[in-house]
Copies of this chain bind each other. A is one copy, B any other.
Amino acid sequence: MTTFSVPSPIQVTVWGENRHEKRDEHVAKIYPQGMHTAIAEGIEENLGDACTIRTATLDDPEHGLTEEVLAGTDVLTWWGHTAHDEVSDEVVERVHRHVLSGMGLLVLHSGHWSKIFVKLMGTTCTLRWRNEHDRELLWTVNPTHPIAQGVPQPLVVDEDEMYGEFFDIPVPDELVFVSSFTGGEVIRSGCTFRRGHGRVFYFSPGDQDYPVYHNKDIRRVIANGVRWARTDRPERGLPELRRHDTGDFFDSRSSAEPLR
Protein backbone atom coordinates (compact mmCIF):
# COMPACT_ATOMS: atom_id res chain seq x y z
CA MET A 1 0.00 0.00 0.00
CA THR A 2 1.43 3.32 -1.08
CA THR A 3 1.07 6.32 1.15
CA PHE A 4 1.98 9.95 1.13
CA SER A 5 5.64 9.90 1.94
CA VAL A 6 7.01 12.79 3.94
CA PRO A 7 8.91 14.77 1.32
CA SER A 8 12.63 15.24 1.77
CA PRO A 9 13.76 18.75 2.66
CA ILE A 10 13.86 21.19 -0.24
CA GLN A 11 17.43 22.19 -1.04
CA VAL A 12 17.23 25.96 -1.54
CA THR A 13 19.98 28.23 -2.75
CA VAL A 14 19.35 31.95 -2.23
CA TRP A 15 21.45 33.98 -4.61
CA GLY A 16 22.09 37.67 -3.97
CA GLU A 17 24.00 40.23 -5.93
CA ASN A 18 25.01 41.81 -2.61
CA ARG A 19 26.34 45.09 -3.94
CA HIS A 20 23.88 47.73 -2.74
CA GLU A 21 24.27 46.34 0.76
CA LYS A 22 28.01 47.00 0.67
CA ARG A 23 27.82 50.29 -1.16
CA ASP A 24 24.68 52.12 -0.05
CA GLU A 25 24.46 52.98 3.60
CA HIS A 26 20.69 53.10 3.76
CA VAL A 27 20.46 49.65 2.19
CA ALA A 28 23.00 48.29 4.65
CA LYS A 29 20.85 49.61 7.46
CA ILE A 30 17.81 47.75 6.22
CA TYR A 31 19.73 44.61 5.40
CA PRO A 32 22.85 44.52 7.56
CA GLN A 33 23.50 40.87 6.67
CA GLY A 34 22.58 41.38 3.04
CA MET A 35 19.26 40.99 1.24
CA HIS A 36 19.99 37.34 0.56
CA THR A 37 20.15 36.68 4.29
CA ALA A 38 16.76 38.28 4.85
CA ILE A 39 15.27 36.28 1.99
CA ALA A 40 16.77 33.08 3.39
CA GLU A 41 15.41 33.87 6.85
CA GLY A 42 11.96 34.40 5.41
CA ILE A 43 11.99 31.02 3.75
CA GLU A 44 13.29 29.34 6.88
CA GLU A 45 10.63 31.14 8.94
CA ASN A 46 7.91 29.54 6.82
CA LEU A 47 9.31 26.17 5.81
CA GLY A 48 11.46 25.33 8.80
CA ASP A 49 13.02 21.90 8.58
CA ALA A 50 11.13 21.23 5.39
CA CYS A 51 13.98 23.02 3.68
CA THR A 52 17.73 23.37 3.82
CA ILE A 53 19.03 26.75 2.76
CA ARG A 54 22.38 28.04 1.61
CA THR A 55 23.24 31.42 0.17
CA ALA A 56 25.56 32.44 -2.64
CA THR A 57 26.57 35.85 -3.96
CA LEU A 58 28.05 37.47 -7.02
CA ASP A 59 31.48 37.85 -5.53
CA ASP A 60 31.86 34.20 -4.58
CA PRO A 61 33.99 32.11 -6.95
CA GLU A 62 31.81 31.21 -9.92
CA HIS A 63 29.23 33.40 -8.15
CA GLY A 64 28.75 30.49 -5.74
CA LEU A 65 26.90 28.60 -8.46
CA THR A 66 29.21 25.74 -9.35
CA GLU A 67 27.97 22.65 -11.09
CA GLU A 68 28.03 20.87 -7.76
CA VAL A 69 25.96 23.53 -5.99
CA LEU A 70 23.34 23.62 -8.73
CA ALA A 71 23.17 19.83 -8.90
CA GLY A 72 22.31 19.90 -5.21
CA THR A 73 19.78 22.72 -5.49
CA ASP A 74 16.07 22.03 -5.83
CA VAL A 75 15.11 25.68 -6.01
CA LEU A 76 17.25 28.74 -6.70
CA THR A 77 16.10 32.27 -5.84
CA TRP A 78 17.64 35.20 -7.70
CA TRP A 79 17.95 38.85 -6.70
CA GLY A 80 20.20 41.08 -8.82
CA HIS A 81 20.06 44.67 -9.97
CA THR A 82 23.08 46.82 -10.49
CA ALA A 83 25.52 44.22 -11.75
CA HIS A 84 23.60 41.95 -14.11
CA ASP A 85 26.40 42.35 -16.62
CA GLU A 86 28.96 41.00 -14.22
CA VAL A 87 27.32 37.61 -14.07
CA SER A 88 29.41 35.38 -16.30
CA ASP A 89 27.78 33.90 -19.38
CA GLU A 90 29.11 30.50 -18.42
CA VAL A 91 27.26 30.54 -15.12
CA VAL A 92 24.11 31.76 -16.86
CA GLU A 93 24.31 28.84 -19.29
CA ARG A 94 24.76 26.48 -16.37
CA VAL A 95 21.77 27.84 -14.47
CA HIS A 96 19.70 27.76 -17.66
CA ARG A 97 20.56 24.11 -18.24
CA HIS A 98 19.63 23.23 -14.67
CA VAL A 99 16.31 25.06 -14.88
CA LEU A 100 15.37 23.25 -18.11
CA SER A 101 16.48 20.02 -16.42
CA GLY A 102 14.16 20.50 -13.47
CA MET A 103 15.60 22.99 -10.98
CA GLY A 104 13.03 25.49 -9.77
CA LEU A 105 13.79 29.22 -10.11
CA LEU A 106 12.35 32.23 -8.31
CA VAL A 107 13.23 35.55 -9.88
CA LEU A 108 12.73 38.52 -7.58
CA HIS A 109 12.10 42.17 -8.38
CA SER A 110 14.92 43.69 -10.46
CA GLY A 111 15.93 40.18 -11.44
CA HIS A 112 13.50 40.82 -14.31
CA TRP A 113 16.55 42.12 -16.16
CA SER A 114 18.96 39.40 -15.10
CA LYS A 115 20.60 37.48 -17.90
CA ILE A 116 19.01 34.24 -16.79
CA PHE A 117 15.45 35.61 -16.76
CA VAL A 118 15.80 37.37 -20.10
CA LYS A 119 17.24 34.18 -21.60
CA LEU A 120 14.37 32.08 -20.28
CA MET A 121 11.71 34.53 -21.42
CA GLY A 122 13.06 35.44 -24.87
CA THR A 123 11.71 39.00 -24.58
CA THR A 124 13.09 42.37 -23.43
CA CYS A 125 11.56 42.08 -19.93
CA THR A 126 11.35 45.88 -19.79
CA LEU A 127 8.73 47.73 -17.80
CA ARG A 128 7.59 51.09 -16.41
CA TRP A 129 9.11 52.24 -13.12
CA ARG A 130 9.41 54.97 -10.49
CA ASN A 131 11.19 54.78 -7.17
CA GLU A 132 9.16 57.17 -5.04
CA HIS A 133 7.83 55.33 -2.02
CA ASP A 134 4.59 54.12 -3.57
CA ARG A 135 2.43 51.84 -1.51
CA GLU A 136 2.07 48.51 -3.32
CA LEU A 137 -1.05 46.37 -3.01
CA LEU A 138 -0.87 42.78 -4.25
CA TRP A 139 -4.19 41.27 -5.26
CA THR A 140 -4.68 37.55 -5.65
CA VAL A 141 -6.43 36.73 -8.93
CA ASN A 142 -5.95 32.95 -8.67
CA PRO A 143 -7.11 32.01 -5.17
CA THR A 144 -6.71 28.25 -5.64
CA HIS A 145 -3.05 28.51 -6.59
CA PRO A 146 -0.64 27.03 -4.02
CA ILE A 147 1.45 30.19 -4.10
CA ALA A 148 -1.52 32.26 -2.90
CA GLN A 149 -2.24 30.20 0.20
CA GLY A 150 -2.26 32.13 3.45
CA VAL A 151 -1.75 35.44 1.71
CA PRO A 152 -4.03 38.36 2.70
CA GLN A 153 -6.28 39.95 0.07
CA PRO A 154 -4.69 42.38 -0.58
CA LEU A 155 -1.14 41.99 0.60
CA VAL A 156 -0.04 45.50 1.63
CA VAL A 157 3.56 46.63 1.13
CA ASP A 158 3.89 50.05 2.73
CA GLU A 159 6.58 51.30 0.39
CA ASP A 160 8.15 49.89 -2.73
CA GLU A 161 9.45 50.89 -6.11
CA MET A 162 6.70 51.08 -8.71
CA TYR A 163 6.98 48.53 -11.51
CA GLY A 164 4.25 48.93 -14.10
CA GLU A 165 2.84 47.69 -17.39
CA PHE A 166 3.58 47.09 -20.09
CA PHE A 167 5.88 44.47 -18.64
CA ASP A 168 7.35 42.74 -21.67
CA ILE A 169 7.20 39.07 -20.73
CA PRO A 170 5.52 36.15 -22.46
CA VAL A 171 1.95 35.57 -21.31
CA PRO A 172 2.43 33.78 -17.98
CA ASP A 173 1.21 30.21 -17.68
CA GLU A 174 -0.54 31.30 -14.49
CA LEU A 175 -1.17 34.80 -13.24
CA VAL A 176 -1.32 34.70 -9.45
CA PHE A 177 -0.95 38.32 -8.32
CA VAL A 178 -1.62 41.75 -9.80
CA SER A 179 -0.22 44.78 -7.99
CA SER A 180 -1.38 48.38 -7.93
CA PHE A 181 0.63 51.37 -6.72
CA THR A 182 -0.22 54.68 -5.12
CA GLY A 183 0.24 56.38 -8.45
CA GLY A 184 -2.32 54.12 -10.11
CA GLU A 185 0.00 51.86 -12.11
CA VAL A 186 -0.47 48.08 -12.16
CA ILE A 187 1.77 45.11 -12.90
CA ARG A 188 1.36 41.38 -13.23
CA SER A 189 3.44 40.86 -10.09
CA GLY A 190 3.21 37.10 -9.53
CA CYS A 191 3.63 34.96 -12.64
CA THR A 192 4.49 31.32 -13.25
CA PHE A 193 6.22 29.89 -16.32
CA ARG A 194 7.04 26.27 -17.12
CA ARG A 195 10.24 25.94 -19.11
CA GLY A 196 11.61 22.53 -20.06
CA HIS A 197 11.38 20.38 -16.95
CA GLY A 198 11.62 23.39 -14.67
CA ARG A 199 9.20 25.76 -12.98
CA VAL A 200 9.84 29.48 -12.81
CA PHE A 201 8.09 32.03 -10.58
CA TYR A 202 8.58 35.75 -11.06
CA PHE A 203 7.62 37.89 -8.07
CA SER A 204 8.00 41.64 -8.48
CA PRO A 205 8.11 43.25 -5.00
CA GLY A 206 11.43 43.91 -3.34
CA ASP A 207 13.38 47.05 -4.06
CA GLN A 208 16.57 47.40 -2.02
CA ASP A 209 15.52 50.80 -0.69
CA TYR A 210 12.66 49.42 1.42
CA PRO A 211 12.40 46.59 3.96
CA VAL A 212 10.19 44.50 1.71
CA TYR A 213 11.87 41.18 2.51
CA HIS A 214 11.17 41.71 6.17
CA ASN A 215 7.41 41.74 5.45
CA LYS A 216 5.97 38.49 6.75
CA ASP A 217 3.42 38.13 3.95
CA ILE A 218 6.03 38.69 1.27
CA ARG A 219 8.07 36.02 3.00
CA ARG A 220 5.11 33.71 2.92
CA VAL A 221 4.71 34.16 -0.83
CA ILE A 222 8.39 33.44 -1.45
CA ALA A 223 8.22 30.33 0.71
CA ASN A 224 5.08 29.19 -1.11
CA GLY A 225 6.91 29.80 -4.37
CA VAL A 226 9.84 27.68 -3.26
CA ARG A 227 7.52 24.85 -2.35
CA TRP A 228 5.68 25.12 -5.66
CA ALA A 229 8.83 25.36 -7.78
CA ARG A 230 10.39 22.16 -6.49
CA THR A 231 9.83 19.58 -9.19
CA ASP A 232 7.85 16.38 -8.63
CA ARG A 233 10.05 14.57 -11.12
CA PRO A 234 12.38 12.04 -9.55
CA GLU A 235 15.43 12.80 -11.70
CA ARG A 236 16.95 15.88 -13.19
CA GLY A 237 17.42 15.77 -16.93
CA LEU A 238 17.31 17.99 -19.98
CA PRO A 239 14.64 17.24 -22.60
CA GLU A 240 16.45 15.40 -25.40
CA LEU A 241 16.01 14.89 -29.07
CA ARG A 242 15.08 11.24 -29.58
CA ARG A 243 14.49 9.11 -32.64
CA HIS A 244 11.93 6.34 -32.26
CA ASP A 245 11.21 3.51 -34.68
CA THR A 246 7.60 2.89 -35.52
CA GLY A 247 5.91 1.08 -32.67
CA ASP A 248 8.92 1.49 -30.45
CA PHE A 249 7.68 4.12 -28.06
CA PHE A 250 10.00 3.55 -25.16
CA ASP A 251 13.41 2.70 -26.56
CA SER A 252 15.09 5.32 -28.62
CA ARG A 253 18.41 6.43 -29.73
CA SER A 254 19.55 9.83 -28.72
CA SER A 255 20.26 12.04 -31.64
CA ALA A 256 23.69 13.41 -31.14
CA GLU A 257 24.00 13.19 -34.88
CA PRO A 258 22.15 15.90 -36.81
CA LEU A 259 18.52 15.32 -37.73
CA ARG A 260 18.00 13.70 -41.10
Contact = CB atoms under 8 A, between A and B. Distances in A.
A46 B2 contact: yes
Name the prevailing secondary structure of the A interface residues: loop
Interface residues of A, number: 94
A238 B178 CA distance: 22
A239 interface: yes
A166 B144 contact: no
Contact of A144 (B141, B178, B232, B240): B232
Contacts of A11: none
Contacts of A247: 183-184
A154 interface: yes
A194 to B, nearest CB: 5
B165 A141 contact: yes
Contacts of A166: 139-141, 143, 153, 239
Given A124-B238, A170-B170, A241-B127, A197 B260 contact: no
Interface string A151-193: 0111010000100111110110111001110111110100001
Contacts of A129: 241-244, 255, 259
Nearest to A10: B4
A7 B6 contact: no
A119 to B, nearest CB: 6
